[in-house]
Amino acid sequence: MPHLSRRPMPTQRLPMIGRLACGLILGIALAPAQSATLVTPTQDQEVVEVLRERPLDAQERQWRQLRAQARAEPRNLSLALQVASQALSRSRRDGDPRWLGQAEAALAPWWKLPQPPAAVRLLRAVILQTTHRFDAAVQDLQALTSQDPANVQAWLTLAAVRQVTGRYDEAEAACQGLAQAGARWHAQACSADLSSLRGEGARASAELTRLAASAPPGLASWLSLVRAELAERMGQPEQASRLYQQALLQGDDPYTLGAHADFLLDRAQPQEVIQRLKGQERNDALLLRLAEAQAATGDRAATQRSVQTLRARFEAGRERGDRVHLREEARFTLRLLKRPKLALQLAQENWAVQKEPADARIYLEAAKAAGQPDAADPVRRFAREAGWSDARLEGLL
């Protein structure tokens, strides 16, 4: 169950990752939920899950036909790239890690090659960063940018990986790589976004506003989102609200929905969260925010249903050995299960991998709730050295 990551800066090819401002809200106290049980079938005829109850639409038929063709010709590079790209898109849409497995499977003939075709290497890097295998992703991305310094998508993804792992100097070097590749607009946006995390919020806001006035149409939604998150960190809720509304008008992808839901939860507006996220339960990260909103309204029955579903999904992730979702699991454990010591352990494990403001917040909140505020000193040290300024962390750092 992957957590929500920064919506990609649009290009013609693949996404980049980044940060998501994570709003936490104390829900109602829940009765202990019964542990969800993983089901392992013992007989071939046993039904585990009914996957579809409606006829296939044209898009789904085309997808299945493409997969069938790729399976029949497993070494057809063009087909494999199409399957992997579409599976990645579906993973971003649904928040379902099984799509990532399909993307990786499509690239199996080339996956372990030390020097695969460049298109495979880029897709492999995106899959690796999505599953938080950051070191391996960086190796591929550095190889790509060395071989092809004009590869804009590789530079974007490298900048994002460096940013999410708190390697800001190296992220800035990747932003400069974008400029040298001729993507000057993207380079300016990349640097401004990064500087907003380095104690230069006002300057970054002015630069992003200037860029928004001349941005290509396809980048308007991304810019509105980045500016909304920055306004939130700067303690400007009215500005943030306006920019979130702009971003939602231009595109209601899962990241934007989740970021806005966090903003609303922080401002005690759970009913609006429920209205916006109704029907989005398939996406695990959005279901988590829906569960928090249900808890805040006192709807115990709905909350328990969502909690049980989330329990089962987290357990399934552990069964697969998937630890990508540690931030969301820490949030779930603290906000809904009311187990701060376990939430702190999860937040610490997550912080060892990535260092975004949302990661810091759940770590700080869990440490405080567990009665161990000093346990979050690594976060405070990092925030001080990086120059973070975030209104949501006031009183915690």
- Contact between 288 and 332 under an 8 Å Cβ cutoff? The reply is yes
The closest of 343, 346, 348, 389 to 370, measured between CA atoms, is 343
- Contact between 309 and 287 under an 8 Å Cβ cutoff? The reply is yes
The closest of 232, 238, 303, 293 to 268, measured between CA atoms, is 293
CA 366 to CA 242: how far, in whole Å? 30
Low-confidence ranges of the chain (pLDDT < 70): 1-55
Reported residue count of the chain is 397
**Which DSSP string corresponds to 108-127?**
HHHHT-SS--HHHHHHHHHH
The total of other beta-carbon atoms located within 10 Å of residue 59's CB is 9
Radius of gyration of the chain from its Cα atoms, rounded to whole angstroms:
21
Please tell me what DSSP assigns to residue 370: T
Give the pLDDT score at 171. Answer: 98
Segment holding 93, helix H or strand E: helix 77-94
Residue 181: C-alpha distances to residues 154, 156, 192, 216, 350 (Å): 11, 11, 18, 18, 33
**Main-chain dihedrals φ then ψ at residue 14, nearest 5 degrees:** -115, 175
The total of other beta-carbon atoms located within 10 Å of residue 272's CB is 14
- Contact between 306 and 294 under an 8 Å Cβ cutoff? The reply is yes
CA 51 to CA 36: how far, in whole Å? 19
- Contact between 6 and 255 under an 8 Å Cβ cutoff? The reply is yes
Give the pLDDT score at 168. Answer: 97
Rounded to 10 deg, the angle between the 300-320 and 326-335 helix axes is 150
**Which DSSP string corresponds to 9-49?**
PP-SS-----------------PPPPPP------STT----
Q: Is 232 helix (H, G, I), strand (E, B) or coil?
A: helix
**Which DSSP string corresponds to 127-162?**
HHHHTT-HHHHHHHHHHHHHH-TT-HHHHHHHHHHH
CA 184 to CA 191: how far, in whole Å? 10
Instruction: Record the tokens describing residue 269, joined without a space.
Output: 């507006």
